[in-house]
Chains A and B, each alone.
Chain A
């Protein structure tokens, strides 16, 4: 039974690795050149194939944390808490990836590493909110209480996402746009590469979740075995 589960995990991991290699090829070479003036701009534009899927996974991961938190409060099974924790960890890491890759792109495209643009600001705040989530967990010892606190904070944090979005959107649109819209239109070939990357990243997220959950389950089992030997 356990062996069978592991085999699926290996197959799934292999699939996601293969998809990521194809995604890397598409992003760097497969997708057509963007219709931009400078050579640097055309290179920099290719980051969207990784940048936007990273952001998508970040928000998806936080949605999963929120749903798992609600599920835990309704029915306190440890599995829900493991899902919430795993997803929050992965989401925080991907959000950091969004901030870093966004900065790398902003430098050639806008000439600065950072602007207080609406999307940048919301990503930064989300990153800080979920860094707080992990710090809250680290600060509570009792597992049941930790799970309950994390679930409540996960709900509060997720509700703050749309409110933050509205606030930042109202805030930034008071000023004229400093820079034109960066995305423009994607050509058909670019669109294929883009959506392939989006799917590849989502599969990758699922793989990371499976591994992280397995790790957490094993950790709980070790703890249980240790308790049973000691008692």
Chain B
């Protein structure tokens, strides 16, 4: 079985489990919508008309990031139940395949949630978000978030604090993703030329590549018993 097939097998296992329960998907989606709604309530007191456009990128990425934390938390805590992680580790696969499988299943889940949140967001805030470049920014930002998030989630799932610890570790480390994604989204909404947001896209691409490499080098130490 090739390496890619192993990754896909883990991804498939996670997706089948998710399709049977729809537990994570509904939680993430409802939570993301709630973040958007809460943001609108919180800012509606002060922000009206044209200024909505200024807070929109921030609200969007906070919703994605928080929903992502929910999804990432479950990725490995699910495996703690009845020793599934041990079973997975006993399988004759390279441990990095488990990392990429888990990252892929988190990504699929986040992409589906984002695809549904974007129209809701467009409707609530009256800003059209369906733009090719914007979708690219969403994809790059999500990959960066899921990459580093999967490393940290594998660790926090094995700690005493579990769910509580992941956002505390993840949000400061993922700060560049959030900054770059919000700036790029804002640039696109403001109708800037692609050249002007190019540096943010490059930063996102660099981030997306660096942490999977770090994961390949360190993941074995996280899951080893």
Question: Which residues of A approach B to under 8 Å, CB–CB?
Answer: 73, 125, 128-129, 131-132, 135-136, 139-141, 145, 148-149, 151-153, 155-157, 159-160, 163-164, 166-168, 170-171, 174
| 20 pairs, A vs B, C-beta closer than 8 Å | A125-B175, A132-B165, A132-B168, A132-B173, A135-B161, A135-B165, A136-B155, A136-B165, A139-B159, A140-B159, A140-B160, A145-B158, A149-B155, A149-B222, A152-B155, A153-B169, A155-B218, A156-B173, A163-B207, A170-B203
Stretch at the interface among B77-85, B121-129, B176-184: B176-184
**How far apart sit A153 and B207, CA to CA, in the bound complex (Å)?**
16
**How far apart sit A164 and B222, CA to CA, in the bound complex (Å)?**
24
**How far apart sit A136 and B166, CA to CA, in the bound complex (Å)?**
9
Contacts of A155 in B (CB 8 A): 214, 218
Contacts of A139 in B (CB 8 A): 156, 159-161, 165
Closest CB in chain B relative to A148 CB, distance in Å: 5
* B151 close to A160 (CB less than 8 A): no
Annotate B199-225 by CB proximity to A: 1 below 8 A, 0 otherwise: 110010011001100100010011010
* A156 close to B207 (CB less than 8 A): no
Is B148's beta carbon under 8 Å from chain A? yes
Is B191's beta carbon under 8 Å from chain A? no
A-B pairs with lowest CB-CB distance, top 3: A167-B176, A139-B159, A139-B161
Query: Which of A128, A131, A159 is close to B214, meaning CB atoms less than 8 Å apart?
Result: A159
Query: Which of A73, A151, A160, A170 is close to B173, meaning CB atoms less than 8 Å apart?
Result: A160
**How far apart sit A15 and B203, CA to CA, in the bound complex (Å)?**
45
**How far apart sit A141 and B156, CA to CA, in the bound complex (Å)?**
13
* B169 close to A132 (CB less than 8 A): yes
Q: Which residue of B lies closest to A129 (CB)?
A: B172
- Could you list 6 further interchain pairs (A-B, Cβ under 8 angstroms) beyond the known A128-B171, A132-B169? A132-B165, A132-B172, A156-B173, A156-B214, A167-B203, A170-B203
**How far apart sit A166 and B173, CA to CA, in the bound complex (Å)?**
13
Contacts of B206 in A (CB 8 A): 163
* A136 close to B169 (CB less than 8 A): yes
Contacts of B218 in A (CB 8 A): 73, 152, 155-156
Of B159, B165, B171, B203, most buried by chain A (CB within 10 Å of CB) is: B159
Is B65's beta carbon under 8 Å from chain A? no
**How far apart sit A38 and B160, CA to CA, in the bound complex (Å)?**
53
Q: Which residue of B lies closest to A151 (CB)?
A: B221
Contacts of B200 in A (CB 8 A): 170
Is B152's beta carbon under 8 Å from chain A? yes
* B203 close to A166 (CB less than 8 A): yes
* A135 close to B221 (CB less than 8 A): no
Query: Which of B148, B172, B176 is close to A166, meaning CB atoms less than 8 Å apart?
Result: B176
**How far apart sit A152 and B168, CA to CA, in the bound complex (Å)?**
16
Closest CB in chain A relative to B48 CB, distance in Å: 24
Closest CB in chain B relative to A77 CB, distance in Å: 15
Given contacts A128-B172, A136-B159, A159-B214, contact A153 B203 (CB under 8 A): no
Contacts of B165 in A (CB 8 A): 132, 135-136, 139
Q: Which residue of A lies closest to B168 (CB)?
A: A132
* B180 close to A167 (CB less than 8 A): yes
Closest CB in chain B relative to A61 CB, distance in Å: 17
* A156 close to B222 (CB less than 8 A): no
* A148 close to B203 (CB less than 8 A): no
**How far apart sit A141 and B159, CA to CA, in the bound complex (Å)?**
8
**How far apart sit A95 and B50, CA to CA, in the bound complex (Å)?**
39
Contacts of A149 in B (CB 8 A): 155, 158-159, 222
Closest CB in chain B relative to A142 CB, distance in Å: 9
